[in-house]
Structure 1
């Protein structure tokens, strides 16, 4: 298994290696320091690697090290050319779960045979269900029916815009017939609406995914345009509306409003969780196990991957990397964490292909509340998490102290060594914090 995973990891670093070579061969950094940017053709990139594997990074977190370490980003400016510069292309996203009171709304499911609102597994189905149930109209505050009128891949018109640079100041960028893709375009009697949909959780998103469609349709329609970023995760929608305060400035994006919607009863309480914790007899972690102690802090990402995998299994390490928008090492941590929780399994010894376990399929078939409690049970069945649940939620110790105590705990029991114990203690804290968000989210509604 290790040799195959390392092979995939080496393959994934090809993008960074190729960019490092391009930057050196074409003296790109010197030209950027003089002009503020470097325009590079797809033909030039292809000499090193396929452009489609070198130029599309939906999250800043997924940028190749050769670009990220130099504070460079890449932006398509035509069908055959890209711009490299130290410009800021991404907008940070708040944590998915919010405790803002009154921000969660229940959606009534429709009795439709061709659309199962309780089992949404793709971005397109998420949009279909959102429109069919009136959720989009509810978020928009629209009293008229919104209909879909355009979507898919298309080219931009010619336009220019300013964008902020990391080093200060701004850069003017010219775009003409660059390729873009629109997940959903809608219209009602008041507005044209553009939606970018995701069913993967990233810490930020590429502003271009909203800005390019916005600029194109700004020149084609007279109605005001509303821009919606939609996430569907763990049986719940989050809709965030954005606007550009200056249409000619890419960096003028700002959040207008947000809301959560669900088809499910989400009434998980801390009493439910403590009752479950008391009922569990945990199993100690075994040192030197075939499945290492997890180093994947965000439980949300494991759930998101589990949901995605049910329609896309088996998934290789490369598939998981592409889906999660992380590098291979981090993606493998999350795949391994899923195995630790008995949610994922390897198809065979030495294989990099992951599938869902029968237990994961059972959990995915449950309603929201039962699903969350089942996942909590998977976590708390491990001795480390069971013990520190008590420390955090019963004894009320601070997160800083918990991380320190968990680091010592892991080392003393030879679960991991001094080099990795701190990072794995962060996972203990991260998963327990996720458990804590479940009743917080419910009780603040």
Structure 2
């Protein structure tokens, strides 16, 4: 069973190879240049690989290289057919920034035995807590009690829409009985609300996840429809409301408003971080043979994976890849980075299964403020991070200048070679910037 799962862990590499063959065998690029699109059946895709492993990419960064390098995207248009074209399917997300406590709304926890608002580990629980505590009602501002009325997997009706192409102009797309999944559908006296929820952070999201449900329910209800993208990460909600300026145009998506919510005290101060830094005696970077120096720039992804692993351990390489939505190589970078920080551990030598360490479990039991300080402590206990924290936030040296300093530091101590030192330096600065966002440090530009 484990070998089968690990085979699937090579998802992106295998998908890219399969798409290369499909594109070549069916002259897809030639037909797209003539018609603007290519329709391919699930049956055809299955000759090369299972369609479920070839056609669902929640973020542009997840796309197999064979598609991404050609600016191709894939869109389901029926239960058995997909459209390939050089159309833009994704909407960029603003950075998840929680360093301005005045802009974060506090939620009062409820004394519920079946819903632990301080320990949310799934998208469905995030929605349940958001509704139960009145957070959704607060964000909507409709003045009415909102109730859940629909969710789950269902088929679309027949409709058509315009979508922008990377090469300019637009393409008309026809959809009929394509499959879609709705995380949460709600209604109050004024509106119908559709929610797409995520508990992993990506730089963008697939507009289809809101657009298809929007078009379906636009034909079924008379009330206005409000569209909410919900992210739950590190004990914090971010709700973003979107609308389509033209219901017939997929690319007309617009962001209306956003807000942060939390059950926790988020008042981490600059003094808290400075005092923590001063009290830590760092350990020299002596790497274990099977744990390389980290190459995983986004600390928030490590935290997100740690939260998810709490209720889903052990996690294989395949599980981590599937959850993070990255290719296998990048997912391994983040798993290794968690091991570098003593947050994750292998169950045995040579095992592909990761579990949380006792230190990680203890960190996850803390409230927001102490959790962030504990995570910052794990970073700053390593000498390179401790030293360059001072250079960045105390001496106010610019990140551009520091990047070369960090690379030289890593090379001189034989932590990594010249080829990889700059990439590792980006991780050092990425993690330090994450610490800096907690109390909104001012760093040199």
Q: Report the aligned-residue RMSD.
A: 1.6
Offset at 1:142? 2.0
Residue 411 of structure 2 corresponds to 411
Do the aligned residues in 1 keep the contact of 2:10 with 2:327 (CA within 8 Å)?
A: no
**Bigger shift: residues 169-178 or 316-325:** 316-325
Closer, same or farther in 2 for the Cα pair 1:417/1:8, shift >3 Å?
A: farther
Counterpart contact for 1:8–1:317, Cα < 8 Å: no
Query: C-alpha distance in 2, partners of 1:147/1:7?
Result: 42
What residue ranges of structure 2 are gaps of 5+ in the alignment? none
Q: Is the 8 Å Cα contact of residues 107 and 263 (structure 2) preserved in structure 1?
A: yes
After TM superposition, the structure 1 = structure 2 runs for residues 372-411 of structure 1, keeping only pairs within 5 Å, are 372-411=372-411
Task: Label 1:37 to 1:277 Cα distance change in 2 as closer, same or farther (>3 A).
Answer: same
2:94 maps to: 94
Range with bigger deviation, 24-33 or 91-100 = 91-100
Give the length in aligned residue pairs. 439
Q: CA deviation at 1:274?
A: 0.8
Confirm or deny: 8 A CA contact 1:193 1:226 kept in the other structure. Answer: yes
Cα deviation 1:320-350 (Å, max 9, x = unaligned): 1111111111110000000000000011111
Q: 2:145 aligned with 1:145, yes or no? A: yes
Work out the CA distance in 1 between the residues paired with 2:187 and 2:10: 46
The 2-side partners of 1:5 and 1:185 are apart by 33
315-324 or 72-81, larger mean C-alpha shift? 315-324
1:117 partner SS: coil
Task: State the distance in 2 between where 1:370 and 1:32 align.
Answer: 54
Q: Distance in 1 between matches of 2:339 and 2:390?
A: 24
C-alpha distance after superposition, 1:166-202 (max 9, x if no partner): 0000000000000000000000000000000000001
Q: Is 2:11–2:327's contact at 8 Å kept on the other side of the alignment?
A: no
Q: What is the CA distance between 1:13 and its match in structure 2?
A: 1.1
Q: 1:300 to 1:150 in 2, by over 3 A?
A: same
Separation in structure 2 between the aligned mates of residue 270 and residue 294 of structure 1, nearest angstrom: 26
- What does the per-residue CA deviation read over 1:264-304, in whole Å, with 9 as the maximum and x for residues that have no partner? 00110110011111111110111574311100000000000
Structure 1 124/337 Cα, relative in aligned 2: closer, same or farther at 3 Å? same
After TM superposition, give the deviation of residue 99 of structure 1 in Å. Answer: 5.2
What's 2:25 paired with?
A: 25
CA–CA separation in structure 2 for the residues paired with 1:378 and 1:284? 13
DSSP-derived class of the 1:439 partner: coil
Q: Deviations over 1:212-254 (max 9, x none)?
A: 0000000000100000000000000000000000000000001
Distance in 2 between residues matched to 1:71 and 1:12, nearest whole Å? 16
Paired position in structure 2 for 1:73: 73
Match of 1:337 in 2: 337
Contact kept? 2:200, 2:233, Cα under 8 Å: yes
- 8 Å Cα contact 1:87/1:163 also seen in 2: yes
2:295 is matched with which residue? 295
TM-score by length of 2: 0.96
Is the Cα–Cα contact under 8 Å of residues 194 and 225 in structure 1 kept in the other structure?
Answer: yes
Give how far 1:101 is off.
Answer: 7.3
> For 1:73-92, what per-residue CA distance to the aligned partner results, in whole angstroms no more than 9, with x for missing partners?
00000000000000000001
Distance 1:9 1:125, change over 3 A: closer
5+ unaligned residues in a row in structure 1: which ranges? Answer: none
Q: 2:234–2:303: 8 Å Cα contact kept in structure 1? A: yes
Offset at residue 4 of structure 1 (A): 12
CA change 1:11–1:114 in 2 (3 A) is closer
Aligned to 1:205: 205
Q: CA deviation at 1:98?
A: 5.0
Three-state SS of the structure 1 residue aligned to 2:363 is helix
Correspondence for 2:437: 437
